[in-house]
Each structure stands twice: as C-alpha cells, then as structure tokens.
A and B are shown apart, each in its own frame.
Chain A
Amino acid sequence: MEKRPHALLLKYPGTNCDAETARALEATGFATTILPVSQLDRDHLEGVSLVVFSGGFSYGDYIMSGRVARLITEQRIASALEEFRDRGGYLLGICNGFQILTQMGLLPAGSLVHNTSGRFLCRWAGLDKRSDAAPLSFLPDHFELPVAHAEGRFVTADPADAERYLAEGLAPLTYTDDINGSFAGIAGLQDKTGRVFGLMPHPERFLHRADHYDPDWDGDAQWGWGYHFFRSLHAAVSASSPVPCPA
C-alpha cells in the first residue's frame, strides 16, 4: 500500500513543465501521476491529496491564458475540483497552472495579463514571503526563484483588492522588484482555505543547488529553494487528514 501522498498532475495539450514538476514532487515524497486531460474524469481524484497544474501553454494560450484549459476541465469534471478542495484536497498551480486556477475562480479574483513590458520574460526574481502558506513554511522570508512568462502581471478590477489580498494573507508571495507590473507586486496567491496555491515563479526549476545561476550561491549545501517549496507542501499535505473518496 502506497504510503506517500498522491499528487495528480493534469497535462493539457501544450503543458510543458510536467516532467520537471513531477520530478520535484517525487523528490519531496509525493507519489505522482501525470494524467493527459483527454482521460480526465472524476474518478481520477480518488485517493489523490494534491492536484497540480504545471507550467506551459495550455492549448497555446492564444486567447486569455488558461481560459481554454478551464473550459475543457469544467466540461470534463464540472465542479469536482471545488468539491475536492472542500473535502480537504490541495491544489497547486505553477505559472500556466496559476493562470488556470485563476481562470477557474479557485483563487482570489483577478487576472494574469501581459507583462507591462509586453514581452516574455525569463530571469530569476527575488521574492518576499508576506504571510504563511502551505508551500512556504520551510522557506526564508526572502528567497529567489526563476520566472518565465509573458502573462504574469496580476491585476484586480480594483487595485485596492490586491492590497487587501496582501493584508488578509491571501497574497503570501510578492516580487522584491517590479518585474512585470503585478498589482502590489503579487507573485503568488492562496485561497481562504489555505489549500489552493498559485504562483508565477517556477519552484521546480530550482530543485538543486546547481540550478542557481551563481556557482557560489550560499543558500543550501545541496538543494535549491524549490526543493524546500515542495517539501513544505508535502509536510502540509501529509499533516492534514487523508482526503476521503468522493461519494
């Protein structure tokens, strides 16, 4: 009997960070399944503790990023993800996955739109931990992760909403510098249950110390901050009671 918590990674046409995200999940103690969305039905959530949406360009993201992925997911499993969350399940969205979770309305309201530069941006970004969150518990108050996105600017209909998310602990992760024009510098959000988390940076790309651009990086002898991100999430998922099967 598998004792490790089970992570289910949904792969859409155009999802392209699935392999390295699964690698990070496995390295930190999750039993991981990558499931092409063409096969997805509600039964796949059985026995799953964490549903992961990884980076990529689902369906090309030619219209608003994550929108087609949301429509296809709803078509296949309707509100099963909300029910999964309500039963105590965790959801994680990275980059395109964050865009998808935002489109699904599983995170505080807002949109991820084109960076103010109008360009794709691949670089490392300084990040500040602004409040507690399941995947951040073993991370320091300030750390770095790589980012790679064209539509990573988090905006809200009323800019005050973004500030409110920050004040209410719903925006646990902000950029140290303004790299893409996100309101309140928001890089990551969680919902009120604390079990749904989305972020634009890519923790799976900083699993090992050697992934850092500076060969003399002085953070950790072996692992990168991304490892500690997934390890934190693993601790939170393991500590919560097992997710019961859907009725």
Chain B
Amino acid sequence: MTENHRTPHATLPAPPFYRHIPIAALDGDALLSLSRRMKLSLSREDMLQVQAIFTDWGREPTDVELEVIAQTWSEHCKHRIFGATITHTGPEGPETIRSLFKTFIKDMSERVFARKPGFVISAFHDNAGFIRLDDRRAVCLKVETHNHPSAIEPYAGANTGLGGVIRDILGAGRGAKPIGSLDVFCFGPPDVSQAGIRGDDVIHPLGIMRGVVRGVRDYGNRMGIPTVSGAIQFDDAYIYNPLVFCGTAGVIAIKDIPKEVLPGQLIIAVGGRTGRDGLKGATFSSAALDTDSHAEDQQAVQIGNPIEEKKAADFVLAARDAGLIGFITDCGAGGFSSACGEMLSEGGGEIILDNAPLKEPGLISWEVFISESQERMVLSATPEHLEALQALADLYETELTVLGKADGSGILKVRHHGEMVCELDCGRLHDAPVRHLRGHFTLPAGLPLGGDLPCDPSADLRRILSDFAVVSREPIIREYDHEVQGNTVLKPLAGASGDAPQDAAVLRIDGSHRLMAMTQALLPEWGKTDPKAMGRACVDECFRQLVAAGADPDRIALLDNFCVGNPEDPDTLGALVESVKGLSALAEAYGAPFVSGKDSFYNYFETDDGPVSIPLTVLISGMGIVEDASHVTGASLRRPDSVLCVLGTTSAAMGGSIFARTNRHPALQVADFDHVAALERYRRYHQAVTQGWILSAHDIGEGGLAVALAEMAFSGKGGIEVSLDSLPVEGTVGRAARLFAETPGRLILEVSPGNLDALTSHFAGTAFATIGRATSDPSRMCVDWGDERVLNEDLAELKSLWKNGLTPYY
C-alpha cells in the first residue's frame, strides 16, 4: 500500500462530513417525509422500525447509518417482496403465502438438492450458485437486471449491468473465472413512432437498443468474456421501461468455493476508485420511473471502465490460485456498505473511510460508503498475505488498499477523519419488517383455443419469420465477441453456413472433458393470459433447449429472474404468484433446482395518462452439464438425405403464440402439456444422443413447427419435405395449430436413415413420429397435410426475410 493513494488531508471536506439525524421525536408522517427527502426508499413501517432500534440504543442515527439501513433494506438488496406475506386469491382459492422465495424457490430447490446429492455445491447464499462439473470443478451462472439505469442512459446502464454481473462471478466462491455471458433485452418495437411515445424524455426504442447493445459489447469484448447467448423481446409496454438482463457463467475449483472472514483478517479493496458516480442506485432501482427520473437520477447511473475490471479480474484469479483470499465479494448495489456489511455483519469489524482511494476529493462519509462506483472488489486476507497480494496488484497494475479489519466484535464500525460515523449492531438489521401484500388472479374462463383459426400458411409463415420476435439477431450477435477464450464449441450462429440459429451455447471448460451448456427462455406474451402456464413453459423451454444441445437432463440447474410492475397492485402481484407456482412445480418435476435468482419491481412508468407497466416478465436461464464433446448437438440440418422426426404432442391452444399475436387474435387459451411424458421423452432423447443417433435437433418454440423446420434448413445443407399427417396431436388440431402452435415439450430430430429403426423402437410408447425427410434441393421447403401441399416455399426467400429482419434497425 502506498501513501500517495490516500486522500491528502488538504482536501478534507468542509465539515460536517457526517451529521446526526434526529428521528426519536418524529411521527410516522414526518419519518416518511424524511425518508423521501433523503431518497431512502424506506416505507413508514421501515422508518418506525429504524426509530425503534435507535430508541433502544438511546441515540440518534447518523446520516451514514440511515443510508446503510436504506441500502440493506432496499428491494434491490433484500428482495422484500419475495419475502413478503401475501394474501392471495387465485384459481385454487384464498391462501396466505409466507415468502414466495422460501415457499416456492428455496424449499423446492432444497428438496431437489436432497434427491441429487453432490450436484448442487452451493446455492442462494453466495454471489452465484455452483453445480458440479466434474470431480474437481464447479460451474456457476448469475443473471442480474439493470433496467432503470438502461432506461435513462442505455449505453452506460447496460455497460455497467454486464460489468456488475461479471464481478458477481469474480466474487463467487473465492473468485470464479468468468467464461461466458448472456444478455436478454426487452425493448419497445424499433419501428414505433416517436410521436406515439407519451413522456418527454423517454428514449426511442431504437436509441435504447443501440445504446444497450453497444454497452454490452464494449464491456464484454474488452473483458475478454464471450457473449454466447441471448434473446430479445419486443412489446409496446417496454417502450417506457426497457428490461436489460445480463448474465455471466464462471468456473472454479470446488476447493475454492468455501469462503470465510475471520477476526484479524484485513478488509481490502481492489480495483477502481470511489467517486460520486452511482450514488443511490440500489434505492433508485427500487422505485418507479417517471419523466423526472430522466432529469434527476443521472447520478445513479455509473460509468464503466472495463480495463480497470480486467486488471482486477487478473489479480483476483491469480490471488485465488496463490491461496491468498479468505473471502471475496463485489461492490455492487450499496457499494462498500453492502460489501463490507456482507463481510462484517456477523463477525464485526472496523472500516476506515479515509483509506478508500477516491476519484475526486471532498466526498462526505455516506457518499464514500455507499457509492456504487464500478470495478471494485472487496476481499479479506490474513495480514501475512498482504505483501504477496500487493505484489500481485503491482503485477497486474491494479490498486489495492487496506480498508479496515475484521475484529469479532459483531459491530460494524465506520470511521472517517477520526470520528465514528457509523456503529451498527448488524444483528438488528437482518430482519427488515415483513411486508404484507395482496394478490389476486382469475384465469379468464371459456377462452377459445384458436387452433382452427383461418390460416394462409405461406403468408403466415412469412409474416412470422419477419416478425421482430423471430428474425435473426445476427447484426447484434456479430458485434459481440462470442469466441474469445477459444472455448465456444456450439456458437450462437452455426450450421454449415455459420449463420443459423441454435438452441443453446456450449462451452468447453479448460482442463475438463465435460462441457457446459447455457441458454434461457422468456414468454411474456403467454403471461398476459395465463402466468402459471408461462412459468411452466419458460422452465420447459429452457430445459428442453439445454437437453437438445446435449446437456444431461439430470444435471441441469436454473435461475429465475422476475421483472414486475407495481407489486402493490393486487392483479400484478397475483399474476406473479401464479407464475412462480407454475415454474416452481415444473422445475421440481424436472429435477432442475433453482440455484440463483433476482427480482426487479416497480418496472412501470408514470405518464400524464397514468402508469404504463411492463407485462410480467419471467426469465428462466439454465446451465447444464454436457458429459462429452461428442454429445454437443446443433440445431441445423446436416445431411441432404436424413429423416426428420417430431418428438412431443401438438395441441390446438394458440394463446401467446406469434401466430395469434400477429393475426391480432386477442385472448386465446394458452397451451398446457403433459410434463411427465415430456421429461420421459427428454431422457430418452438424451440416451439417443449418447448413442450417436441424433444428427441435429431443434426445439419447436416461437413460431411453431413451420418456423423451426425453416430455421433448421437455413444451414443450406438440404431442403425439407414433410407431412403433417403423422404429427402426434392431442384432440382436434387444425392446420394453423399444426404449423404454428407453440405447444411446449416438442423437438424436431434429424436422423440418418440407417439409425431410424433403432430410434423408432427407442421412442416406442412416446409421442414420436417420422414426419418426412431432408432433400437434396436446399432451395425448397414443402409441407403436406392430407392431399394438400400447404407450404411450398423458396428457402432462400424465407432465409432472407429472417436474416435481414433486424438489419434496417440495427
């Protein structure tokens, strides 16, 4: 540590650099107005509890202490709505749910952990959950949202969104190595007219999209972490409140996962300096947006510097390998306050704010302690390791500073300029007041299925292939370095032509013969009618895509990210409850536990005409273990003479489908499916993969069978000639549903003729059918039903519609 990193005393801020805030005498209204004035985002009940705590202690809080409590109890950090007691009335009648998180995520997942000993190595308490890759290594995945910052400052918001989740991985265990990223965006349609946007400073979706993509690009590419997976959804409701999910996967030696802060260890900050950028991001993210947000909350959006983070990352991984790290975490929301709080909340210790290297002089105490300046990590280490840590910091040219020391007192003490500016018994802060909320949901009765709706197959297929929901993401994917680290075996665009879509990304892991698959699913359109079915379908789609790409169905773990409007609105909360029930039950049935998750509320925008809320948006991301490189299976046609089979049952319900949406059919029934049969098929499919019988496989998802067939043929290796006659169906299923229904649980398989008999007997007793074959004419896609040729399409034309759909906008 070098003296010149310290803030010189000449720049000591003019007193007071902290102050006491008298609250003992205030009533509820006055407390609430204080919370608003200080932008604490604490409710009346929260403030009353704070008052009670300090009355017990017989003193008034300092501003630093109030800020620490506000960060600790913010929705962003504490997830208080997922912990709330909810009085819910749904299709199953009235009930009281004590913590959605505990009931449906944690308890469920722990039951799965018990069924699969040794698979999940850690979940829910560290920065990311780990699953076992092999005897020595574990992989992890974490997904975060950065919605409000990206609405106000798309480039910087997305830039630091990715930077933040990368640090989560660096701070998972005693430092995991980031190996791949995913990004999922929800935007307004890029062709919306500016005049149609209500709200003065709202940025047009094109500006949001370009800024967000470049923000992700410039951080991920510079960090040298391949961005390998992603998705984009477009909906008018996202104009005002776009969603930006950033996720990163990591790998670590299992021995490096346990972490502990021991009394006597030094608390050390590494990486970037602390400044006024990113003040109050955690509390800002826990409130709704309005026009004023664009003007007033700029300070909450941070500035990214990926090279600073790259240097810190090189340092962390080297320090971990040298055994120098006791505990490590990142400075995310809440800055030092949450990182040091996490490290010292049990054992206690003292932080000297004067030691923190600053970007600018004159920061007052609470600013230093809660600033969310980027690229900072905090770790603990024994004093004897300090010299070796400093040598590594010098080697990788990153700044290292001792902030303080763990002391076993149980008290979090913060000093600044010789004065105690914060002294909190964190034991009292663990239990924020439990919120009480109401939820309500009614499933609309008597909705039509939609499967026999009028259908003009050729026109419908072309419209769906050129819909923003389906068109190729190539212009964006090419801006991301998805091959750095040299391990991206199944790339986001692949197949013989190198530009066909895939179901999942598969990464080789250095030193292991096993690989990791990652993908994600979100279906907000489904949730508008049936959030529970949406939850089920998201889990199924994510799981199915991982299995399709070669992952072992018994070694898949999931992440749940929820973006929701106003939780105080019972209909909004009721829909969330239903979705959670749906995804939880299916994840348990599939044996795919949740190992990490995050939620983001208040995703609505106050216009002059009232709030515009996002649709309930649930992102299910997943990672799966691929046993051997030979199991990696792409989604693109490989032979001109192969046989095409369909696995899974098609039903007539078209609710939430792109066909229904683009035909403007309101409220149709959303598909349900037999998940027990689906899981059995996935298991048998995986056995077929291990036998080497599967040339390629593609999930039937958005756009249905016709779109999936076309996408497979976009590799250019062959044409398509299939019949819908033998398609396994449930009930009466018309032309529209056979071609365009999005029933979960289905895959298309490409098989060599020589393996067909073996495969057919392998799938005996399941919904499996041969529907046709690949042909040697790569320009034709023909689909028959009965005596009618329902599709006879030029594949080059279809591919051009699909491939160029986003090009004019990005």
Binding site for B on A (CB under 8 A): 11, 13-14, 16-17, 19-20, 23-24, 36, 38-39, 55-57, 59-60, 119-124, 146, 148, 202, 204-205, 207, 210-211, 213-216
Contact = CB atoms under 8 A, between A and B. Distances in A.
B803 to A, nearest CB: 13
B486 A211 contact: yes
B742 interface: no
**Interface SS of B by simple majority:** loop
B310 interface: yes
Contacts of B508: 210
A213 B498 contact: yes
B224 A16 contact: yes
12 contacts: A13-B396, A14-B222, A16-B224, A38-B394, A119-B479, A120-B480, A122-B480, A148-B221, A202-B486, A210-B629, A211-B486, A216-B717
B307 A59 contact: yes
User: Nearest 10 A-B pairs (CB), nearest first?
Assistant: A16-B224, A20-B486, A60-B307, A213-B498, A148-B481, A213-B494, A205-B486, A57-B222, A14-B307, A214-B496
B397 A13 contact: yes
A120 B222 contact: no
A14 B314 CA distance: 10
Given A38-B395, A60-B307, A120-B479, A210 B496 contact: no
Contacts of B481: 120, 122, 148
B479 A122 contact: yes
Nearest to B810: A119
Residue of A60, A124, A210, A215 with highest tally of chain B CB at under 10 A: A215
Interface in B381-397: 394-397
A205 B493 CA distance: 16
A83 B221 CA distance: 34
B477 A57 contact: no
Contact of A16 (B223, B489, B491, B632): B223
Contacts of B311: 13-14
Contacts of A148: 221, 481, 483-484
A84 B555 CA distance: 52
B686 interface: no
Contact of A36 (B395, B488, B489, B510): B395
B485 interface: yes
B611 to A, nearest CB: 37
Nearest to B487: A20
B229 to A, nearest CB: 14
A211 B221 CA distance: 19
B430 interface: no
Given A57-B307, A60-B307, A211-B489, A122 B224 contact: no
Nearest to A119: B479
Interface in B198-226: 217, 221-224
Contact-residue size bin, chain B (C-beta under 8 Å from the other chain): 35 or more
A60 B496 contact: no
Contacts of B154: none
Given A57-B222, A60-B222, A214-B496, A204 B482 contact: no
A125 to B, nearest CB: 10
Given A57-B221, A120-B479, A17 B484 contact: yes
Contacts of B489: 210-211
A194 B478 CA distance: 33
A16 B223 CA distance: 7
A106 to B, nearest CB: 24
Given A122-B478, A123-B498, A216-B496, A146 B396 contact: no
Contacts of B728: none
Nearest to B305: A60
A214 B510 CA distance: 22
Contacts of A11: 314
Interface in B765-782: none
A215 B493 CA distance: 12
Contacts of A204: 486
Contacts of A215: 494, 632, 634, 638
Given A38-B395, A60-B307, A205-B486, A120 B638 contact: no
Interface string B492-518: 011110100000000010100000000
A192 B395 CA distance: 35
Contacts of A124: 498
Contact of B486 (A23, A38, A39, A213): A23
Interface of B: 217, 221-224, 305-307, 310-311, 314, 394-397, 477-489, 491, 493-496, 498, 508, 510, 629, 632, 634, 638, 717
B310 A146 contact: no
A226 to B, nearest CB: 9
A11 B510 CA distance: 20
Given A14-B310, A146-B483, A202-B483, A119 B629 contact: no
B411 to A, nearest CB: 39
Residue of B311, B397, B484, B493 with highest tally of chain A CB at under 10 A: B484
B485 A120 contact: no
Contact of A213 (B396, B477, B491, B717): B491
Given A13-B307, A13-B397, A14-B307, A122 B498 contact: no
A41 to B, nearest CB: 14
A122 B483 contact: yes
A216 B491 CA distance: 14
Nearest to A17: B484
A246 B397 CA distance: 28
Contacts of B224: 16-17, 56
B15 to A, nearest CB: 38
Nearest to B486: A20
Contacts of B485: 17, 19-20
B28 to A, nearest CB: 51
B475 to A, nearest CB: 8
B273 to A, nearest CB: 16
A213 B495 contact: yes
A204 B484 CA distance: 9
A215 B483 CA distance: 16
A119 B478 contact: yes
Nearest to B629: A210
A119 B498 CA distance: 19
Nearest to B515: A210
B396 A60 contact: no
A59 B311 CA distance: 10
Given A57-B221, A57-B222, A214 B307 contact: no
Contacts of B480: 120, 122
A214 B483 contact: no
A13 B494 CA distance: 32
Residue of A16, A38, A119, A204 with highest tally of chain B CB at under 10 A: A16
B486 A214 contact: no
Nearest to A224: B486
B307 A122 contact: no
Contacts of A13: 307, 310-311, 396-397
A123 B487 CA distance: 15
Contacts of A24: 486
Contacts of A38: 394-397
A148 B482 CA distance: 9
Contacts of B482: 122
A209 B510 CA distance: 16
Nearest to B223: A16
A16 B310 contact: yes
Nearest to B638: A216
Nearest to A61: B222
A55 B482 CA distance: 14
B303 to A, nearest CB: 13
B486 A120 contact: no
Contacts of B498: 123-124, 213-214
A123 B494 CA distance: 10
Given A120-B217, A216-B638, A205 B222 contact: no
Nearest to B318: A36
Nearest to B489: A210
Contacts of B629: 210
A38 B395 CA distance: 6
Nearest to B310: A14
